[in-house]
Amino acid sequence: MGRSVMAKASVLFVCMGNICRSPLAEGAFRAEAERLGLEVTVDSAGTGGWHKGDPPDPRAIAVARRNGVDISGLKARQVKPDDFRIFTHIYALDHDNLRGLLQVAPSDATAEVGLLLDLVEGHRGRAVADPYYGDDAGFDVTWSDVVLAAQALARRLADEGWARV
| Catalytic positions, written as ranges | 15, 21, 130
Counting every residue written for the chain, the total comes to: 165
HSE-up of 65 (CA within 13 Å, CB side)?
9
Cα–Cα distance measured from residue 127 to residue 62, given in angstroms and rounded to the nearest whole number: 22
CB 25 within 8 A of CB 151: no
**Which run of H or of E encompasses 30?**
helix 21-36
CB 120 within 8 A of CB 152: yes
Give the ranges where 38-82 is alpha helix by DSSP (H). Answer: 58-66
Phi then psi dihedrals of residue 23, to 5 deg: -65, -30
